[in-house]
Amino acid sequence: SLLEAIHLLKLQDRTRFYQASTSELYGRVQAVPQSETTPFYPRSPYAAAKLYAYWMVVNYREAHGLHASNGILFNHESPVRGETFVTRKITRAAAAISLGLQSCLYLGNLDAERDWGHARDYVDGMWRMLQQDSPGDYVLATGIKHSVRTFVEAAFAEVGIRMEWHGEGIAEEGRDTKSGRVLVAIDPRYFRPTEVDLLLGDPGKAKRVLGWSASTNFEAMVREMVRSDLEVIAREASYRHLDEDAWQAVG
């Protein structure tokens, strides 16, 4: 591992190591909000693997004196978030539906709650960890929770669509209040086998020691992502038209 390489090559005096940990370590949360001292309870293979990485960092720090830190980062988003993640899936769908290029968005648990912040702020927090004289583990979070449902409403509001909800459970639907069209539906395939219902971080230590706090609020983050996806999707659509025109010309 990189930690072992630093140790074997005796580079600990001129190397600082950062490990990107995750709020998924808390899984079935044992306390709300979650801080650096909250017990972990991972609920997925990903979280279990990240727990191993977390403790390896702690072990090498304590056993060999490495400047190695864990950043326990709660959900952090941006316009370049992968399209398979729920936040980007939502903002991309809101943009595509508003442009008439998609009919419906399918989601799983609308009531799951997360502490969402902007990736730009969190990268600043990572950098600050590496500037400290002593290594440590830090929660980076906004300290504010929002549900998936609220994220959907905020994203669609950015394209002028007000959402209202009808039905319950897997029969629940999100409809455009003006047209009555169903724009959001539930697909049971998107429910996790071991659901994590709530993740809410306590960034007190990061604020106290690093002088860090999240500066981008939830609404501004969603707005930036939706506007970016409007541009991306419009550009993709224009490329498709160019390709179609080229094939017609060849034909």
Residues catalogued as catalytic: 22, 24, 46
Spatial CA neighbour of 136 closest among 64, 205, 199: 205
The rounded radius of gyration (Å) of the Cα atoms in the chain is 21
* Cβ partners under 8 Å of residue 98, min gap 6: 159, 160, 161, 230
Q: Residues 59-71, buried b or exposed e (16+ Cβ, 10 A)?
A: ebbeeeebbbbbb
Can you read off the two tokens belonging to residue 86?
Answer: 């729920």
